[in-house]
Amino acid sequence: MLTRLFKSGNSLAVRIPKELAFLGPADEVEIERVGNTLVLRPVERETLADVPAIFASFPKSFMAEGREFHEQKERDWSGAFGRKAQEEAQSSAPSASPEKD
């Protein structure tokens, strides 16, 4: 099938005839040069509706023994984003209200 190239901004574009259009919701394509040929492939994004099928594709042996338990470590939250740092930042910030004489 013959079609034409046309200028779109600073790029070249090609019109894909309806008969050759990709079926489905893909609105992006991946393009690759293979020798003297350009290959277009639809980009299919996974959605939440695909999650059950993804889990179903896992082998039965996947995590058959469960997960390893890791003891939670005590964390020091007094760093740059801790309460202490916030209190210090507030006490050193200039007052927003003007002082009265």
Phi, psi of 63 (to 5 degrees): 55, 35
Predicted confidence (pLDDT) per residue in 34-79, tens digit:
999 999 888 887 788 889 998 999 998 988 888 888 888 888 776 7
The pLDDT-based confidence of 11 (bands split at 50, 70, 90) is: very high
CB 5 within 8 A of CB 12: yes
In the three-class reduction of DSSP (H, G, I as helix; E, B as strand; rest coil), residue 33 is classed as strand
* Whether this model's pTM surpasses 0.75: no
Element housing 39 (H / E) = strand 37-42
Map out the domains of the chain as residue ranges.
23-47
Predicted pLDDT of residue 82: 66
Partners of 51 in the β-ladder: none
